[in-house]
Structure formats: structure tokens, C-alpha cells
A and B are shown apart, each in its own frame.
Chain A
Amino acid sequence: MMLKKGFRFDARSCSGCKTCQVACKDKQGHGMTTRFRRVYEISGGAWVQQGASWHQNVFAYHLSMSCNHCDKPICVEVCPSRAMRQNEDGIVTVDENRCLGCGYCAFACPYGAPLLDLSSGVMTKCDLCADLLREGKSPTCVAACPMRALELEDVEDLRQTLGRGAVFPFLQPTLTEPNWYVALHPDSDRAADGQARIANREEVEPK
């Protein structure tokens, strides 16, 4: 069963304010270091001085990233204990009673979604705020976005209008078919050409 509603992300509007990240931590009751949602800062460009003036072609955009509850979730495919599973509604969750804490799903996931919970010794991940969805509400990150850059919308429509997110620094979405549909920032092309780098690596990588 596939997800009915997926993330619509507007990379043109995201300011990198990380409210989604922090609101998620509050919802999940996380301490430090665990971040189901992280915000990548991608930047590039250079400066040239000509006489008295500086010329530049600097650009930057931000990407808010969490589990995308892929239609072909590789974490589910590779999990040796079948603790990682895709539910009836398409949401990918960890069965905490089965997980060995081997971390292989984290190695496999191109989006850094599964994280090791040091206190329980098992993997943990975003469940799309399934409890809120049942109450007819939006996931916490979506309801939090001050820029209205993150929405949860019907995947049928999103597939027609936007397509799955194919944007630097992430892999081709054909690999796992993430439910992350992206309105691209105009400078994404330049990043794809190798002109950009992740500027805030220590803020997004698991610790």
C-alpha cells in the first residue's frame, strides 16, 4: 500500500529557519542530537574583485529533509530482522521489539532517516506523526513551517505537478521513490553542475 499524502516542499521559499526540525524534536520529546528533520544549506558561487567593486555569483538554497516514506523503501528491503516495515497506509516505521540496532538501515537510507536511539539501543524514525494524521491534523513539521514551504498533499496531484525531488545533494529519486515532491529553487541547476556544496554538514549529519 502506498502513501496517499506526501510532502510538498518549496525550496524557493524555505529560509532555513529550522522551525520544522525543532518542532519535531518537541513533538517527539527528543533530547540533543536526534533530529528526525534536518535542514540542509546548499551554497556556492565565487567573488571577483574588479577595480573598486566586488562581483559575485553567490547562491544558496535550503532543503528540509526527513523520512520520505518512500514507495520503494530501501530500509525495509535491507533490514535483516524485518523490524523496518511499511504499514498499510504506506508509512514506514520501526518495530522497536524486533530491531537489533545494527544500523544497516541508516547506512542504506539516502536521506539519513533512520537514527539510532542511544537510550533504547534500537533505531528510531519519523512516523509522519501518524497520531496527528489520525486526528485529521497535519504532521508537526508541516504545521510548523513559518514560510509555508512544507505541506502534506495528495501524492497523485504532486506527481503530476512537481515530481519527486531530484535535487543536489540527493540521489536520483528513482532509487527509492521518495514521497518528497519539490518545487526547485532556481539555482538548483547550478548546484547540480557541481558548483555547490553542503555548507552546514555538521548541522545535518547524524552524531
Chain B
Amino acid sequence: MTDSKSPARRIRVGCPAHNCGGRCLLIAHVENDRITRLETDDRPDVVEAPQLRACARGRSYLRRQYHPDRLTHPLRRVGLRGEGRFERISWDEALDFAANELRRVRDTYGHGALLIPYGTGSYNQTGGSGVARRLLNLFGGCLGIYNSYSWGATNIATPTVFGTLTTGNQRQDWLNSKYILMWGWNPAEMRDGTNSDFFVVVCIDPRHTPSVASLADEWVPIRPGTDVAMMSAMAYVMIEEGLVDRAFVRAACVGFDESQMPVPGAESYEDYILGRRDGVRKTPQWAEAITAVPSETIARIGREYATTKPGVLYQGYGMQRRAYGEQVVRAGCVLAAITGNVGIPGGWASGLAEQAPDGGGLWNVLPQGENPFKAQIPCFLWTEAVLRGHSMTAADGVIGAEGLTSDVKLIYCVASNMIVNQHADLNRSVAILKDEKLVETIIVQDNFLTPSGRFADLVLPACTQFETFGVGDGWKYGDEVILMPQLVPPLGETKSDYRICAEIAQRLGIGELYTEGRDERGWVEHLLGVYRERRFPDLPSLDELLESNVGVWARAVTRPAVAFADFRADPQAHPLDTPSGKIEIFSKQLYDMERPDEIPAVPKHITEWESPFGKEAQRFPLQVIGHHTLHRVHSTHDNNDWLGEAFPQRVTMSPVDAAARGICDGDLVKVWNDRGATILPCRLTPRIMPGVIDIPQGAWWSPDKQGVDRRGSVNVLTSHRHTPLAFGSAQHTIMAQAARYEDER
């Protein structure tokens, strides 16, 4: 694309879009078709439009870009599936194979046998699973998926309270707050945070996270999976001490007490908290026994949050990837509501918190077309669709049709490490995939031979996002459009996700339909038009953006929008999109499901199916969490050596638990339960609560000869049991045991 003797150019480019929760800007130095250096955003740095400074992952991207293990040509499996033996084939052979298999499986089993699993390895609008979905939709459809691995429970539970997912104020509004409860929220490892001397920040988390160290005034460690107990006890204190914002509750909520019940005589939130039906008052003492948080701390935090206004209770998403994840989402929203923090500057409604006023970022702007095959499954239940798809119904979360007509027989995995590494109960997934009678064809398209790639029948080498044209926006906080001009030609024989899909489309006879005559750059031009039309009328054209080399186009936020401001001002005139038009502390929808034990109508603490309180704790006494580490974006970057040097993969353990097991800092530790085992070095630190161990999620599964993982891939321990309402991931609900591991060598 460039003259081989061209001088170095500095090109502003969006940081390759994986699913990190942020979107940043890089300045790439390009010399002789090679990227030599990466700087970051150098625009003026102001609160209204802050610099989008890339983190260590973005700054070390060249170690990924020029990693010796990059796939450079198509591969076809020659050994047993999962054995990892492949032969090099030509693109023609590869694309013919893909097209023929798509046709064969469709003809034999129907469109419902084709699946593109959830995957976020490329969140670039012109790449990743989105372009493959467009292909299969135009091909006649495939089994649909809905919901998310990240925030399955929040996605479904938030609207049961507020009727929308747009519950967040614009982030600049945090500066208006006086009290911020970061509940299981760790932006220092996840995405942009804030810091100020003007408000109090309390972090509630089993880990003393980097966010605690750099943002918080106080750390309240809490036993994982018991957050609702603490929230309930805080509500108890508010009720007993008259701290509930009664006026707001009367005007804007239903279900708080018996005076406003959508179902007369049903148990109200106040009934639950005061134990009028179950005989258990949800006192701080009651919560202390469950959460391990001292009762006086619970009471104090309750008082502080209720009286230091405006206040934010920001919910992280880790705690809803748990057994009854819906409850913690609803409970947090209820606390925001009964303290009157909804709809005011400096307040926060909790829940999913897409950005006001319009929902923020546009998740998919590339037109994917409509899926002619109407049935959809929850994305987390894909293994069920492999094993027993033909018998799945609404009871299994199927929507769009009464049930499925066939099992999944072909998996086309694009920029996704989901089928092995990232799905729950890894050893189970592997056993399913190894059985070639179940899934007959697996196609994996990626930059590297990931653990999922090892199980492919056909591996298609995709170029990186630096090697094609792309575009994205500011993710959840979408006040920016970020351009990703092609910097260098694709490595080896690699092609962009879009190009690969376009060439398969051609073989399926839908080439023109697929491309509409556009290449990647053409689509970016088109997609800028979509952004212009839907959010940013002043957005310049592609040529203008390239010419000015700005990389990012930002709209300054001078007056941060506040979610539910209209509703707050006049609940009658601006009703919510809930059945009652109000904030539903009690949800009649949920009540009508008649599953009060797992899906109560008011948010309740429910003991998890694996917990320190069950009999399973006798054999597996440790709770395992798998936090998002700065080493990776999920499983992307696991092979980035600079990040491995900076953030070594280790199991983090309290010295209290280690002493009981004779484990010293740095020892190899085996962590196991009935589903699997992993062996990795440990780090002893007081920065994690006793009884809890942490294995950062996303490490690439690396089985030894005995099949035991040696890299710390937490999903060998996780369970595929889903949350009851959202059919979402509950991967953080794990019990396990740990011991010092003596190598046989």
C-alpha cells in the first residue's frame, strides 16, 4: 500500500477493538509497511472530552501484531479433533470447504443447525462475528443468540425495575456526586475511572483491587455472592432509622410497602426486609453472618449512602455473573430508588447503566440483515443446543419460536475463543466438541491458533485490525467516533474477517448481496453516515477524517445528561417503560412467573447453589473468582509477553488460607473441584479476603499429558449452570479446593 522507501508516518488510529470496555486512541508510527511504535492520544486533555489514553494492552499491541505465532495461512485438521495437528491448505481449498460445509449442513439439518457463537475478539464494526452474522443471515439464516456473557443478568433484570437499559448518567456527572459506592466495580482494571478529593469513595469487593488502592477512601471486603444480604441490611437500617426517601418512593415507585402493591396482599419489599412473612429480619447482624462484613460497617455504609446525597451506587458486572445474578442487580436499583438518587445530578440509578440520554454507543452499525430463522437461544446455552437442541423450548430460554428443530451441527467461530476457553465448564465443552457426531463441522477464524482454534476442522487466518479499515465508537460511553485506517498490509496470506466472509458469500452465490459493492473502506464510509444520521450530525466524511489525521472525533460533554431526569421531574408525564410506569421494586411480571424461590418479585438474598454454606464446602471450601486482569481482554493478549511480564498469571490467595495449607508465596498450587483442575503459581497477599481465591480469567487452556491445565484457565472449574431468569452466565459461582503442588519431575 505504500512505497517501500516511504518515510515514517504518524497515523492516529483507534486501538484495536476487543471487548475491554473502553475505546482509546493510538498514534502509530508506520515505516516501510511496518508499525514501529505506538503513542497515545495527544489532544488537549479536558474533563468534557478527555484524552483517550490507551492502557498497557494497547501500548504493547505490537507484541501481538508481530507475534511469531500469528496465523499466516489456512489450515485443515489432519489428526483427531482437538489434537492440534493441521496441514496447510490454499485459500481456494479453505473457502470451498467452508462454503460446501455450510451448504451440506443446511441441506441436511436446516438453518437452525448453523451457529455463530458469541465472541468479542474483534469489536471493530467491519470485523468480528458481526460480519459473519451478516453472511449467514443473507444465506438464509442461522440459529440466533441473544443476551451476553458479560452482563446476562443485568441485561434482563435492569428493565424489570426501570423498563430500560439506559440507566446511567454521563460519566462527567460523577463529579457532581458526594458519595460513591463502587460495588464490585473495578474500573482501574476495566475502564476509565475518576478521582477527586470532593467526594467519598467506598469500594465493596472481595479483592483489594487497583481501584481500591487508587480511588477509594475505604475498602469493605465482602464474601462473594452475598451482596444482596448486605444491600438488604442497608435497607433495613434505612427503614428503621427513617432514612428512606418516602416522598420519592410514593411518587415514583411501586412495591415498596403494602400501600403500593401491584398485587394486593403479596409480599412487599418492606415486608421482606422486616421479615414479616419469613420471620427473618434482615438486620445488619443477620447480614454479617452471611457476608462476613461487620454489622456496624453495614449499618454505617447504609446510613452514609442514605444521607450523603447525591450518591452513586455503581454496580460492577462481576457480581451478576453469579448464581442468582438478577437479584443483586435489582437490589442495587432498589437502594438507589429508596434513597431518592434516581434522576438527579450526582445520583445514579444502578442497573446496566447505558449512557443517557440516548443509550450511548451503537453496538452494531454494520447492517447484519434480518435473520430469516427466527428461533434464538440465550448465548450461554450453546452447548445445550449442541446436545439437545431439538428438544429446547421456551423453558430453556428459546425465543422467536416455540422450540428448536435441530441440534447445532456447524459452528462458525469468528474472533471468538468461546467454544473452549471462555465458556463455563471447559472440560465438558471439550468433551462435547471432541465427539464428531455432535458438531460435525467447526470453522474457527482468528489471528492465532487459540484453544478454540485447536478444535477446528478448518482454521481461517484473519488479519489484525491494523491491517484493514475499521471504525468504532466510544463503547458504552459513546461520545466519540474512532477511526481505524488500514496501517499496513495483511500479514502473510491473512485476510480481514470481512474479506473472508465476502469470499465465502461469493461461493454461496450471494457475493454482490453481501458486499453491496463495498470493500472495508467503503463500508467505513457508509458506517460514518450511519453515525452521522443517528448520533453525530456534525461528523465529517471519511476523506476529511483521514486528511486531518485526527483518529477520533469527539463531542464534548459540557452538561452531562442525567438518566430519568424527566421522570424525576414529573413521573406522571414521563412514565417509565414498565407495566406500572414506575420504578418496580416489586415486579408483577416476575411474580406471575410463579417461581418465588429463584425469581422473587422483590429482590432477595438467595443462598447460591455452590457456597460456603452448603455441604459442598466440606470438600471444596474456597470460593473462586476470576477477575478481569490487565494482562488480557478476556482471552485476547494472553500470549503478549510484555503483558505476561507485567501481570504474571497467578492464583491470588490470602496468607490465612495459605498457612492452613502449607503454601508459600510463589509455590505451584493445584486448584480443583469435581469439574476440573488447574496448576499455577500463587501469590499470597492480604489484598484478598480469606476464604476466597482469584484466578484471573482468560488464560489459554494448556493441558499437560494428564489433561490438567497448567496455565490457570479458570473455566476448568466453572459451572455451566445458568442464572434462573436471564439464562445468563454464573461463572463466578465456584467452590474449589487448593493445595501445594509438587511437580513429579
Residues of A within 8 A of B (CB): 12-19, 21-23, 25-27, 29, 32-33, 35, 43-47, 49-56, 58, 60-62, 137, 140, 143-149, 185, 199, 202-203
Contacts and interface: CB of A to CB of B under 8 A. Distances in A.
Interface string B14-58: 000000000000000000000011111010010000000111100
Contacts of B208: 43, 58, 60
Interface of B is mostly: mixed
Given A21-B646, A46-B686, A55 B294 contact: yes
15 contacts: A13-B195, A14-B214, A17-B55, A22-B60, A43-B685, A44-B686, A52-B292, A53-B292, A56-B686, A143-B39, A143-B40, A146-B192, A147-B195, A149-B214, A203-B645
A33 B645 CA distance: 8
Interface of B: 36-40, 42, 45, 53-56, 59-60, 62, 188-189, 192-193, 195, 208, 210-215, 219, 221, 288-289, 292-295, 630, 641-643, 645-648, 654, 656, 666, 683, 685-687, 689-690
Given A46-B686, A58-B687, A23 B40 contact: yes
Chain A to chain B: the 8 pairs with minimum beta-carbon distance, closest first: A15-B188, A15-B214, A15-B210, A22-B56, A52-B289, A53-B294, A23-B59, A18-B646
A22 B294 contact: no
Contact of A144 (B59, B195, B215, B687): B59
Given A22-B56, A23-B59, A58 B219 contact: yes
Contact of A17 (B42, B210, B219): B210
B310 to A, nearest CB: 23
B288 A53 contact: yes
Given A22-B646, A23-B40, A12 B686 contact: no
A78 to B, nearest CB: 29
B292 A12 contact: no
Nearest to B297: A53
A14 B210 CA distance: 8
B690 A18 contact: no
Given A33-B645, A60-B212, A62-B214, 20 more contacts: A16-B210, A17-B210, A18-B646, A19-B53, A19-B55, A32-B645, A43-B685, A43-B687, A47-B654, A47-B686, A47-B690, A54-B689, A55-B294, A58-B687, A60-B687, A137-B42, A143-B39, A146-B53, A147-B188, A199-B683
A93 B305 CA distance: 53
A155 to B, nearest CB: 22
A21 to B, nearest CB: 6
Nearest to A23: B59
B642 A22 contact: yes
B69 to A, nearest CB: 15
B55 to A, nearest CB: 5
Contacts of A148: 45
Contact of A32 (B38, B195, B212, B641): B641
B56 A54 contact: no
Contacts of B642: 22, 25, 32
Contacts of B189: 15, 17
Most chain-A Cβ atoms within 10 A of its Cβ — which of B55, B641, B689?
Answer: B55
A13 to B, nearest CB: 5
A85 B592 CA distance: 78
Contacts of A45: 686
B289 A19 contact: no
A27 B36 CA distance: 9
A146 B645 CA distance: 19
Contacts of B294: 50, 53, 55
A179 to B, nearest CB: 23
A12 to B, nearest CB: 7
Nearest to A42: B213
